[in-house]
Amino acid sequence: MNLKHLFAASTIALSMSALPALAQENGIEAMQEYMMFSDYETGISLPRQIDQTVFETALFVDTRDAGQFEEGTIPGSVNIEWREVLDRIDEIPEDRMTILFCNTGSLSAQATFALRVAGRSNVVVMQTGFTGWQQDAAYKP
């Protein structure tokens, strides 16, 4: 290998090692942009706000694991575990409200945040989660 090839290989190797840092920087920038321009209530819904009209038009995504989903969920919900939402983003429609929930709202809040940073403005987290829906839902079929 001559000096020219060695220099080229070194340059490629150095630029490749910078890619993860650039990706991380872009991710942080996207999150900062989202957080700076979002209202406090953006991306949040409460069970008492989910009336029959909302219930019949929204997609509910249960972000709990498959075992919890099988034990009981909101009727008509689909199960996408919270850590899989970006891998399965194609299953989440862009043209209608999508309400994510877990037991209490904490894991589904992380999933909602990830989806909103990824550009999905139609997703909201149901605060208080499935537990809150069982207690306070405005509409239960």
Please give the share of the chain, as a percent, with pLDDT higher than 90.
62
pLDDT of 23-35, one tens digit each?
567 555 655 554 4
pTM here is 0.74
> Is 141 part of any domain?
no
pLDDT at 69: 98
CA distance 34 to 51: 28
Counting Cα atoms < 13 Å in the Cβ hemisphere of 3 gives 0
Mean pLDDT to the nearest integer, 52-58:
93
Judgement on whether residues 48 and 29 belong to the same structural domain of the protein: no
Distances (CA, A) of 24 to 1, 30, 60: 34, 10, 30
> Is 90 part of any domain?
yes
Across the chain, mean pLDDT equals 82
> Is 55 part of any domain?
yes
> Is 80 part of any domain?
yes
CA distance 129 to 12: 48
pLDDT of 60-84, one tens digit each?
999 999 999 999 999 999 999 999 9
pLDDT at 94: 94
Mean pLDDT to the nearest integer, 99-110:
95
- The tally of domains found in the chain comes to 2
- The pLDDT confidence band at residue 19, using thresholds 50, 70 and 90, is low
**First-to-final CA distance of the chain:** 72
Which domain covers residue 2, as residue numbers? 1-37
Distances (CA, A) of 60 to 2, 35, 56, 76, 131: 61, 24, 10, 7, 15
Judgement on whether residues 59 and 125 belong to the same structural domain of the protein: yes
Judgement on whether residues 54 and 122 belong to the same structural domain of the protein: yes
